[in-house]
Structure 1
Amino acid sequence: MPKLRHLTRLTLSVIISALCFAQLPAVATEYYVNPTIGNDNNLGTSKDAPIKSLDKAKRIKLQAGDKLLFAAGKTYWGSLVLNNLKGSADKPIIVSTYIDDKNSDDAHAKIIAKGMLRGIEVVNSSHLQISNFIILMAATSLDRIPPTVMTSISSSLIACSFASAFSFAVCASGAISSSANA
Structure 2
Amino acid sequence: MNFILNYHVKLVVSFVIILLINLNYCILANTYYVSNTSGNDQFDGLSSEYAFKTLNKINSIIYNPGDTILFKSGESWEGMLWIKGSGNLNNPIVIDSYGGEQKPIINGDGYQACILIYNDDNIYINNLELFNEASHLDSLGQTKKLNGFGGLSNLWGSGKDRRFGIKVVSDEHSLANFKFNGLHIHDVFPTPENTNNVHKGYGIKLETLSDTLVK
- Per the normalisation by structure 2, the TM-score is 0.58
- The structure with more radius of gyration: 1
Say which of 164, 172, 176 aligns to 1:156: 164
- Return the offset for 1:41: 1.1
Alignment partner, residue 69 of structure 2:
68
1:109 matches 2:117: no
CA distance in 1: counterparts of 2:123 and 2:129, whole angstroms:
18
Alignment partner, residue 175 of structure 1:
187
CA distance in 1: counterparts of 2:116 and 2:176, whole angstroms:
13
CA distance in 2: counterparts of 1:166 and 1:95, whole angstroms:
11
Alignment-mate amino acid for residue 157 of structure 1: G
CA-based RMSD of the aligned residues comes to: 2.1
1:139-172 CA-partner distances (Å, limit 9, x unpaired) = 7xxxxxxxxxxxxxxx722100124211111111
1:12-39 CA-partner distances (Å, limit 9, x unpaired) = xxxxxxxxxx876141210000000001
Structure 2 unaligned residues grouped into runs of 5+: 1-19, 135-162, 190-215
1:32-59 CA-partner distances (Å, limit 9, x unpaired) = 0000000111110111010000111111
**Alignment map for 1:13-162 (pairs within 5 Å):** 25-26=24-25, 27=27, 28-83=29-84, 85-99=85-99, 105-106=101-102, 108-138=103-133, 156-162=164-170
- Return the offset for 1:138: 3.3
CA distance in 2: counterparts of 1:81 and 1:176, whole angstroms:
17
Aligned partner of residue 119 in structure 1, secondary structure = strand
Deviates more, 1:57-66 or 1:22-31: 22-31
Give the paired residue count. Answer: 135
CA distance in 2: counterparts of 1:70 and 1:57, whole angstroms:
11
Q: Contact conserved, 2:132 with 2:164, CA < 8 A, in 1?
A: no
1:168/1:105 CA distance change after superposition, 3 Å: closer
- Return the offset for 1:114: 1.6
CA distance in 1: counterparts of 2:184 and 2:119, whole angstroms:
23
CA distance in 2: counterparts of 1:126 and 1:137, whole angstroms:
23
- Per the normalisation by structure 1, the TM-score is 0.68
CA distance in 2: counterparts of 1:113 and 1:128, whole angstroms:
19
1:83-121 CA-partner distances (Å, limit 9, x unpaired) = 3x121111111111111xxxx541x11011122111011
Q: Contact conserved, 2:124 with 2:179, CA < 8 A, in 1?
A: yes
- Residue identity (%): 27
CA distance in 1: counterparts of 2:164 and 2:34, whole angstroms:
24
